[in-house]
Amino acid sequence: MVVRKEALVSGVEFGTRSRGKPWNRVSGAEEWVDLDRSFISRRYDRLAGLIPFFDWLLFQPPGFRRKAVDRLDLKPGDRALEIGCGTGRNLPFLQQAVGPTGRVYGVDFSPGMLAKARKLRERQEWSNVELIECDAADYVAPEPLDGILFGLSYNTMPHHLTVLHQAWSLLRPGGRLVIMDAKLPPGLGGELVRPFGVWLMKRTMLGNPYIRPWKDLARFTDQIEMEEFMLGAYYVCRGIKP
């Protein structure tokens, strides 16, 4: 069992996991325990119908998804990938950005979440959206990508550095990688919401609030931008591949 506390995050382990429940009664309520990926996938199968409710419950900033996709700077004909595409709530923006001549790939390992994304694709009659069920660490795109989005998914992946490494290898030079997510706000605000945030994440989305993706991205490029929303509770972080 690996306990991830804030101080440990910069030295993230590759592919660590544990079985069982996402809380650790012995070590304390605010610690984070990485979970087996099959546990995470099953959790998302059960949450699939509740994603719009969580967007509302967690005060997702208005227009957040569109703003994140905008940061990909996609143009008609581009190739884009969403890692952890879930039920497809970012797909309309991605599909619109690349247009009918472009292509969107969506990867997710939860069959329940992907089933909803597939229904959306059918309803919208998108012929250029490909949805793939697999662990993001194993996904290999059939062509170089112009943009990659982690839509509220990066901090749900215990092996996020492995996944980021793989994603980066799929990006063409000049391509953009965007991570949009929630985080603990800075200062006293963060300290105050931390116990509730950790408690809620363990019981719902399993997003590790101690992960700092912008630092992970800085291992790959020095072309990094960070935009914060809602007093730092949400962010969009972008890295450009040299």
Ligand X SMILES: C[S@@+](CC[C@H](N)C(=O)[O-])C[C@H]1O[C@@H](n2cnc3c(N)ncnc32)[C@H](O)[C@@H]1O
Of 130 and 135, CB closest to ligand X: 135
Binding mask 8-37 for ligand X (x = CB under 6 A): -----------------------------x
Q: What is the DSSP letter of 193?
A: H
H-helix or E-strand containing 171? strand 171-182
Annotate 27-73 with DSSP letters as a single string: T-TT-EE---HHHHHHHHHHHGGGHHHHHHHTTPPTTHHHHHHHTT-
| Residue 136 interacts with ligand X (CB under 6 A): yes or no | yes
Q: Which of residues 186-215 bind ligand X (CB under 6 A)?
A: 205
Query: Taking CB positions, which residue lies at the least distance from ligand X?
Result: 86
Distance (Å, whole) CA 98 – CA 74: 6
| 90: contact with ligand X by CB under 6 A | yes
Cβ proximity to ligand X, 96 vs 223, nearer residue:
96
Rounded distance between C-alpha atoms, residue 208 and residue 82, angstroms: 19
Indicate the SS3 state at residue 220.
Answer: coil
| CB nearer ligand X, residue 113 or residue 211 | 113
Using CB under 6 A as the binding rule, whether residue 60 contacts ligand X is answered as no
Sheet holding 129-133, edge to edge: 129-133, 103-108, 79-83, 145-151, 171-182, 234-240, 224-229
Piece in contact with ligand X (CB under 6 A), picked from 13-21, 123-131, 152-160, 227-235: 152-160
DSSP 119-162: HHHHHHT-SSEEEEES-GGG---SS-EEEEEEES-GGG-TTHHH
234 beta partners: 182, 229
List the end-to-end C-alpha distance of the chain, in Å, as a whole number. 37
Q: Which of 107, 118, 104 is nearest to 147 (CA)?
A: 104
Give the nearest distance from C-beta 147 to ligand X in angstroms.
Answer: 14
Q: Which of 60, 156, 166, 208 binds ligand X (CB under 6 A)?
A: 156
Tell me, rounded to whole angstroms, the distance of Cα 115 from its chain centroid. Answer: 18
Q: How many residues bind ligand X (CB under 6 A)?
A: 23
Of 6, 31, 73, 135, which lies in the binding site for ligand X, with binding defined by CB under 6 A? Answer: 135
- Name which position in 60, 110, 166, 208 contacts ligand X (CB under 6 A): 110
Among 22, 147, 151, 185, binds ligand X (CB under 6 A): 151
For residue 210, the minimal CB distance to ligand X (Å) is 16
- Is residue 51 a contact residue for ligand X (CB under 6 A)? yes
148 binds ligand X (CB under 6 A): no
Residues that bind ligand X (CB under 6 A): 37, 40-41, 44, 51, 84-86, 89-90, 107-110, 113, 135-136, 151-153, 156-157, 205
